[in-house]
Structure formats: structure tokens, C-alpha cells
Structure 1
Amino acid sequence: MLDHPTTRRFSAMLRDAVHTVALAVLAAGGTGSRTALEAAAATVRAAGFADCTEDQLAALVDALAADTGRYIEQPCGAGLTIELHEALDPLAPHLAPAGRESLFLQGARIALADGPYTPAERDALTTVGAALTICSDDVTRLLAAARTPS
């Protein structure tokens, strides 16, 4: 067995991780914001899901909420936390710190697309950070850095 994923497998893991992070942030912030949906869809398309649309993401978030019986106001319910860890835990050891931070910042930018972080979005991003093995001080730094225009 390989210690490291193949290039193809790694690319798929990274693409899936971006998709899962986008869903987690959208689930926390709700899908009512077209701006956030557009930012999420653009991020997911850039990661390799070329056909991803805002409507598909909104439908997935709605399905996740219905499937887990949770309310959108309760971000990262057990189901989404498990999905985040399933997508990010195997990937994190293979990413350099800058790569883990880049993935985190993609989620933060989706959250910020429609305004300041909500408490639910902050909670979801904290879960993302933990799954990516980013320490809490760095999560705080990255949450602030994402708010600063580049």
C-alpha cells in the first residue's frame, strides 16, 4: 500500500474536500444568499467540478438538512461534522500548512461573500480548521486574514 495517494487520488481528495467545505459553509450560512451561492459554486468549479451550479449546491444543502433532520441554524450537526472529517482527515497529512490554510480560506471567503461571519459560519469554519489540523490560534488569524482584501 502506498504511503501517499496517487496524483489522481490526491486531486480527487482535494476536489471533494473543497466541495465538502463549501457545503458546510453554505449549510451554516443558509442558502438564501445568492452571493454566497455564487462564491461557493465558483470555488467548487475551480476545484474541478466544472458543471457545478448554485442551484445544485442549494439543493444539496437542503437535502443534507432534510436528511439529518437538523435545522440550518445548527451548523456542523453531527452529519456534516462527520462528512468534513471524512473528507479532510485523510487529506490533511498530505497538505503543507499553506495548502491546508488555502483550503480553509476558500471556505472563509464563501462565508464572507454575503457579509460578516455569522456565529454559525464561524463554528463551521472552526470545525473545518480542526479537521485540517490547523490550531485554534491560526484559525483565528485566518478568519481575520480572509476579511482583509488582497
Structure 2
Amino acid sequence: MRSARKPREGKPTLCGVRTSWNTVGDGEFFCEECGGDRNYRRRTGRRRFAVLGVPLLSRGSTGPVVECAACHGRFGTEVLERPTTARFSAMLRDAVHTVALAVLAAGGTASREVLDRAVHAVRSAGYADCTAVQLVDLVEALEADTGRFMPEINPEGALLAIEIHEALEPLTPHLEAAGREAILFQAARIALADAGYSPAEQEVIGTVGTALGLAPEDVLRLMESARTVR
């Protein structure tokens, strides 16, 4: 449904269909007309045929619609599927954090270079206070969680297969191709900080690619491209 501005106040028309709106909910959404996060009202309406502004005959119901509290544009409820700017930032931050942990769990935390690159990625995503000690503690805790693992790689270690999908799949529809590739490329760069890819790291990066909706050939291309960056 395209946005529709409220009609300007003026003289009533001789006759026509008028809509009486009723608010049934509210919240915050990303308004495409305002270009940012705004409050909204979820509204339903009753249509009536009116003569000289006086409603007479019912013409059924309409809506629900989402009405921006700032610009008063009205949209279909599908606009609520798009996360707000604040929510999108949080989803992206959590996704990068989860991917970094998964790579560390696959390759180990012994390399200072790998830890430093993982810390840099997580801080850049929004966790400004992240430290190497925190990441190591989290990886050790995950490795002790025997209920979440990828047995084809490491039957004794938690490698966040479930968490990767939970963190990335809700985010993926809202990312452009370049954004999805950037997350996988970052994972590859963390894995390569000490040496080549281990089988466990390759499996984790492949899982990341699947969750991001990337084709296998694109995953391989990005992994090879990461080798050329210093």
C-alpha cells in the first residue's frame, strides 16, 4: 500500500465516501517518507457514504493501516516487517559478534593475531568495550555447552551452528548483497589471521554463507579474496 497523506481541511464536498479511523495499536517503525524511525498508529477504518459531510450509508471497513505520527503518511502493515534503525543496528552488532565467536570456536583462541582481529571486528560492529579476555571466556563457555555443536567438525566443541542461523537469518532479508558479503569476508579474515583455513573454519564459514543466503561459489570467491588482503 502506498503512502497517502491526510487530505487538507477545506469545504466539505457535496457527497462522497468518508473514512472514520480508529486507533487499535501503536509503536515505532521506520517511515520511508520521513527516512527514519518514527512513532506510528495502527488504525482501522469504517467507510461511509456522506452527503454534505454527514455520514449516511455504510460502505464497509478498510485497513488496517500504519499511520506515521510525524508525516501522517499511511502505509500497509508490511512496513512493520522492516526493522527500525536502532533494531537493525542491534541485529547487525549481534550477528558480527556471533560470527566472530563461531570462527574462534572453530579455530581456537591461542593465536593473538586471530583474537585481535576478532576483537576489532566486534568493536567496529558496536561492542566498543569488547576485549580478548571476554571473547575467550565466551568461547570456553560455549565449548562446555555440549547441547549445541556441529559433530561433523568437532564432537567436543560448541561451534554455534544454531546461533549462526538465529543471528543471521532474520537480518539477511534487510541486507544488500554487499552487506551480506562483508559479514562473510570479515569471518574469513579472522580465520586467516594466523594461517590458512582449517577444516572446522571452512565449515563454519560455509554455515555463515548459507545463513546469509550466499551461493557456494560466492562463498569460495570471498574466501579466496580474503587471502589477498593484508
Report the TM-score when normalising by structure 1: 0.93
Which of 17, 29, 41 aligns to 2:95? It is: 17
Distance 1:109 1:79 in 2: 18
Distance 1:78 1:3 in 2: 32
Shift of 1:12: 0.2
Q: Which residue of 1 aligns with 2:185?
A: 105
Which of 77, 90, 95 aligns to 2:175? It is: 95
Runs of at least 4 residues off by over 4 Å: 69-73
The Cα offsets for residues 67-116 of structure 1, whole Å up to 9 and x where unpaired, read as 226699618x7761110000000000100000000011111100001111
Alignment length (residue pairs): 149
Distance 2:222 2:194 in 1: 18
Distance 1:130 1:71, change over 3 A: closer
Distance 1:85 1:67 in 2: 17
| SS of alignment partner, residue 196 of structure 2 | coil
Higher-helix-fraction structure: 1
Higher-strand-fraction structure: 2
2:125 is the alignment partner of 1:125: no
Partner AA of 1:25 in structure 2: V
Distance 2:190 2:208 in 1: 13
Distance 1:140 1:71 in 2: 21
Distance 2:220 2:122 in 1: 24
Report the TM-score when normalising by structure 2: 0.61
Distance 2:114 2:228 in 1: 17
Q: In 1, are the aligned partners of 2:99 and 2:208 still within 8 Å (CA)?
A: yes
Larger RCO of the pair (alpha carbons < 8 Å, separation 6+) = 1
Q: In 2, are the aligned partners of 1:68 and 1:79 still within 8 Å (CA)?
A: no
Distance 1:82 1:71, change over 3 A: closer
Distance 2:158 2:114 in 1: 23
Q: In 1, are the aligned partners of 2:119 and 2:130 still within 8 Å (CA)?
A: yes
* Bigger-Rg structure (1/2): 2
Q: Which residue of 2 aligns with 1:46?
A: 124
Shift of 1:129: 0.4
Partner AA of 1:32 in structure 2: A
Greater alpha carbon shift after TM alignment, 11-20 vs 79-88: 79-88
Q: Which runs of 5+ in 2 are unaligned?
A: 1-76
2:157 is the alignment partner of 1:64: no
Partner AA of 1:24 in structure 2: A
| SS of alignment partner, residue 67 of structure 1 | coil
Q: Which runs of 5+ in 1 are unaligned?
A: none
| SS of alignment partner, residue 145 of structure 2 | helix
The Cα offsets for residues 36-56 of structure 1, whole Å up to 9 and x where unpaired, read as 011100110011000000110
Distance 2:158 2:101 in 1: 14
Partner AA of 2:97 in structure 1: H
